Amino acid sequence: ANIVRREDYLAPAYWIRTVDLTFDLDAAKTIVASKLFIERNLEQMEQPLRLHGEDLNLLRVLVDGQSVSFRHEDGMLVIDAPQQSAFTLEIRNTVAPEKNTQLSGLYASGSGLFTQCEAEGFRRITYFLDRPDVMAVYTVTLRGDKQKYPVLLSNGNLLEQGDLDNGRHFAKWHDPFRKPSYLFALVAADLVAREQRVRSRSGRDHLLQVFVKRGDLEKTEHAMNSLVASMIWDEHRFNLPLDLERFMIVAVDDFNMGAMENKGLNIFNTKYVLASAATATDADFDGIESVVGHEYFHNWTGNRITCQDWFQLSLKEGLTVFRDQEFSMDMAGSASARAVRRIGDVRSLRERQFPEDAGPMSHPVRPDAYQAIDNFYTATVYEKGSEVVRVIHTLVGQQGFAAGMALYFQRHDGFAVTCDDFAQAMADANPYSPLAHNLDVFKRWYSQAGTPRLTARGEYNAANATFTLYLSQHNPALPGQNDKLPQLLPVAVGLLARDGTALPLQLAGEDHAVGTDRVLVMTEAQHTFTFVNVQADCVPSLLRGFSAPVVLDDGLTDADLLVLMAHDTDAFNRWEAGQRLALNRIRAALNSDAPAALDDAFIEAMRAVLNDTRLDPAFKELALLLPSEVYVADQVTGIDPQRLHSVREAMVDQLATALHAEWEAAFAANQVRAGYKPDAVQSGQRALANLALTMLVRHASLTGDTVWPGRAYQRFKDASNMTDRLGALEALVNSHSELAQPALDRFHALFRHEALVLDKFFMLQGRAPEKDGRVFARIKQLMQHPDFTLTNPNRARSLLFALTAGNPAAFHRTDAAGYVFWADMVITLDTLNPQLASRFARALDRWTNLAEPYRSAAREAIARVSAKADLSSDTREIIDRALA
């Protein structure tokens, strides 16, 4: 296998300074003419010019207008070193967009043409030094049929456009900013745009455009509002203005991921652009806001300062996720709404990144080696990367962080740099912070993989009025990473008296207390902190707000957790205490053969949450959800997914029954009567109403009652927005009600022309709680549905990923049918779209953590895929690692 290693990084032997591209666009055969102005990197030894190229048909090569000899070597185009230290290289080649099912490079979607270049797609368009440290100024001319492609877009500013002969026209674009090839984009399609003019704080005028297919224009309002809000936010929070006259977003149906931050021309999966109350849920609206923000924020963190090499990917991704998370929190408004967002972010980190870091794909935030870079656009690089940036933010504070950002741009604007450069700027801007004092310790977050374990024990001494906290950290060994060193952990703490009072915090040696909430900094394996003047025995509330991405073992008893759950001023820990109580009960049930049963103390605590009028509905909804099967599976060794499913289902049944009256009250109390708005307040109410309805219909399925299923059906029919409609439909489908099928049929009939809603139609059925193998059978049947296809990534994911990522009990079957299906699908997808296939292949990452018979059956399925000789390098890397 061809492995790329971080330690082998070498600056390029040549720089490409300017790029002049001309495209004669055609879905079957596009002609690309490229004219590059190149300079030898005088710091490097004289070497031949080696250019990347993939799936290209080369027509000619000229150096300074003269033909030269060239050869193909290891998949690269090699031209012997020209004598001149600067020269012009002209290349002409063709590509076939309509045959490009990988959706990387130039490809066709519907009747339009689109590009995706990150990470290594540009080499599928033309020969180039396709690496992020080669930055150039681009001028791009697009020519094509005017009827088929009325809109011709590329990065930067439009210089010129006009008609050509034979019904063709052209557009010429120029991007004044130097950029790496992965940020190049073009679009040629029949689109319409929502436009808005805005003035930035500095007084500059900008044109914002959101391009979509005809007919979708009225679904672009939220995306446009999110774009304007992102612009204002980045100016206010970080003093970073929009640097372009024109900023464009284009929506495309077929796209491998969420969206792409091409300079001035973001290309988006339609899922993250199109929304109306009738077709999109509150979660969809939130997703649009955060992805629009994310891509917009990349304009500075990613585009103005980019990555030296792909090992530094988290430099832009971790930082930009942090920025989009902060943006969404600021947009959410109230402290409670912020906490709800934080809980959501942590939930997803723990369900996706923690298992990743415990399995065969475990890698540091800055990886050391890869086979296919597309496999490293991971939860570790993104979400853990964001937590690492958050660690800095916690250590230096909001102002210190802004100062660090300013210094980072002052030093590196316009360049391709490393994670070290970022950390150094943050430290240098905050010379008296614990970050600056322990920079090397901090940087272990970039080099050490795995999730650190933080152990905490407290000891109250009534005679001395002291509370001593013993903290220790340990990062378990991983293959290739033994003997790990302690990391820099900010541990946010508070102390609660047993009656719930927040106690003032004064450490030994300090002359007075400093508030009731503070951050302790760990730099070593063990620390002892002694709080003095502690007037009552107390419960420590540790790692508030999830102040570091670790697993916490605080040894708290159920009684302690009940105190936190009832009184903690930190909403995150209040939620976490409930989850911990639930997890303890699920664990106990997994270790016993007796039927699973929740105790009264737990049920009463849940009842108290539901009845508490001071708590927001959004928080209640999160608190009332038991930890997911995916999360629990990561907390247990040798998991039996079927047993876990039946344990958890039994507990949910019990909550449905025991809290029946409270669910009825919650449903009634959380009806939104005002006009639809996807804001935090309304969506919290809808979320709790939907959970209540699900519980009421579930209870009905246990008792045979027909009233609540009937009400759910009525609500499904009459709903005025997708959140309510889908919630009611889900309540019926998830309880396997007789009314589910008629509702599904009606849903399909209503939305058969709405691609994004059809995705929901499939997903909802794919992730329904498994019962007697019915859901798995339904999924296989739905694969044959006339609306199902594997060639559209959203549609493929809607069924396949719903099964493997959202429905462990349907997937992990004792007869191994789920694994057989998985292996077949990995092999089929791999010939079509390796990026999608390798993502899907990761569904069995954690196979070694399964109990028998699952474990052996999973291994067999992976081995069957591995035996296929011609797997893509993307999928090969995942499979090899799984079997290593």
Binding partner of residue 877 among Zn ion, ligand B3K, none, CB cut-off 5 to 8 Å per kind: none
Element (H, E) at 857: helix 854-866
Q: Of 118, 120, 261, 295, which one is the catalytic site residue?
A: 295
Measure the CA–CA gap between 350 and 356, rounded to whole angstroms: 9
Distance CA 529, CA 467 (A): 8
Q: Reading across the β-sheet that carries 112-116, which strands appear in turn?
A: 105-109, 112-116, 186-189, 151-154
Q: Work out how close the CB of 293 gets to Zn ion at its nearest, in angstroms, rounded to a whole number.
A: 11
Phi, psi at 555, each rounded to 5°: 65, 15
Name 181's Cβ contacts closer than 8 Å, sequence gap at least 6.
117, 122, 123, 128, 129, 130, 131, 134, 136
In 3D, which of 571, 545, 576 has the Cα closest to residue 560? 576
Q: Which does 618 bind (CB under 5 to 8 A by kind): Zn ion, ligand B3K, none?
A: none
Site residue total, Zn ion (CB under 5 A): 2
Can you read off the two tokens belonging to residue 735? 């309880």
Cis amide leading into 853 (omega within 30) = yes
Token pair listed for 883: 């079997």
Q: Which CB sits closer to ligand B3K, 294 or 544?
A: 294
Contact of residue 568 among Zn ion, ligand B3K, none (CB under 5-8 Å per partner type): none
Positive or negative, the CA dihedral 541, 542, 543, 546 is negative
Buried b (16+ CB within 10 A) or exposed e, 34-49: bbbbbebbeeeeeeeb
Give the shortest CB-298-to-ligand B3K separation in angstroms.
6
Closest CB to ligand B3K among residues 301, 424: 301
Q: What DSSP assignment string belongs to 702-727? A: HHT--HHHHHHHHHHHH-SSHHHHHH
Residue 377 binding result from Zn ion, ligand B3K, none, given CB thresholds of 5 to 8 Å by partner type: ligand B3K
- Residues found near ligand B3K in the complex (CB under 6 A): 118-119, 257, 259-261, 294-295, 298, 317, 374, 377
Tokens of 252: 């495309």
Active-site residue, 295 included: yes
Residue 119 contact partner, candidates Zn ion, ligand B3K, none, CB within 5 to 8 A by sort of partner: ligand B3K
| Identity of residue 403 | A
Residue placing its CB nearer to ligand B3K in the complex, 298 or 698: 298
564: amino acid identity, one letter: L
Of 699 and 876, the one with the shorter C-beta distance to ligand B3K is 876
DSSP-based three-state secondary structure for 738: coil
Of 444, 526, 136, 73, residue with least CA distance to 306: 136
Closest by CA position to 460, among listed 533, 561, 543: 533
Residue 754 binds which entry of Zn ion, ligand B3K, none, CB below 5-8 Å type-dependent: none
Between CA 569 and CA 582 the distance in angstroms is 20
Within a 13 Å sphere around the CA of 347, how many CA atoms are in the beta-carbon half? Answer: 19
CB 107, min distance to ligand B3K, A: 14
17 phi, psi to nearest 5 deg: -95, -45
In the bound complex, what is the minimum distance in angstroms from residue 363's beta carbon to Zn ion? 17
**Quick one: what does residue 649 bind among ligand B3K, Zn ion, none, with the CB cut-off 5 to 8 Å set by partner type?**
none
**In whole angstroms, how close is the CB of 323 to ligand B3K at the nearest point?**
11
The interface partner of residue 688, options being ligand B3K, Zn ion, none and the CB cut-off 5 to 8 Å by kind, is: none
Site for Zn ion in 265-324 (CB under 5 A): 317, 320
**Strands (E) located in 566-630:** none
Judged by beta carbon distances under 5 to 8 A according to partner kind, the member of Zn ion, ligand B3K, none in contact with residue 830 is none
Q: For 689, which DSSP code?
A: H
Q: Note whether 279 and 219 are within 8 A (CB).
A: yes
Q: Which burial class, exposed, middle or buried, applies to 345 when counting CB atoms under 10 A from its CB (0-12, 13-18, 19+)? A: buried
Find the shortest distance in angstroms from Cβ 780 to Zn ion: 35
> What minimum distance in Å lies between the beta carbon of 712 and ligand B3K?
38
Contact status, residue 835 vs residue 874, Cβ threshold 8 Å: yes
634 binding partner (options ligand B3K, Zn ion, none; Cβ < 5 to 8 Å by kind)? none
Of 108 and 260, nearer to ligand B3K (C-beta) is 260
Beta bridge partners of 145: 168
* Shortest CB 120 distance to Zn ion, Å: 16
Give 169's strand partners. Answer: 144, 163
The C-alpha atoms of residue 373 and residue 616 are separated, in whole angstroms, by: 42
Comparing CB distances to ligand B3K, the nearer of 683 and 875 is: 875
State both tokens at 231. 């612009």
What is the closest distance, in whole angstroms, from the C-beta atom of residue 327 to ligand B3K in the complex? 14
Q: Which is nearer to ligand B3K, 119 or 826 (CB)?
A: 119
What are the residues whose beta carbons fall under 8 Å from the beta carbon of 12, sequence distance 6 or more? Answer: 41, 44, 129, 131, 133, 134
Residue 380 CA to residue 494 CA, distance in Å, equals 29
The least distance separating ligand B3K from the CB of residue 120, rounded to whole angstroms, comes to: 9
Q: How many CA atoms, within 13 angstroms, populate the side-chain half-sphere of residue 631?
A: 18
Q: Give the number of residues written for the chain.
A: 884
Instruction: Give me the least distance between CB of 320 and Zn ion, in Å please.
Output: 5
* CA dihedral (848, 853, 854, 857) positive or negative: positive
Residue 120 or residue 616: which is nearer to ligand B3K going by CB? 120
Pick one of Zn ion, ligand B3K, none as the site partner of residue 257 (Cβ within 5 to 8 A by kind): ligand B3K
- The smaller minimum CB distance to Zn ion, of residues 312 and 573, is found at 312
| Of residues 260 and 651, the one with the C-beta less far from ligand B3K | 260
- Between 312 and 336, CB nearer to ligand B3K: 312
Binding site for Zn ion (CB under 5 A): 317, 320
Could you give the residue numbers annotated as active site?
Answer: 295
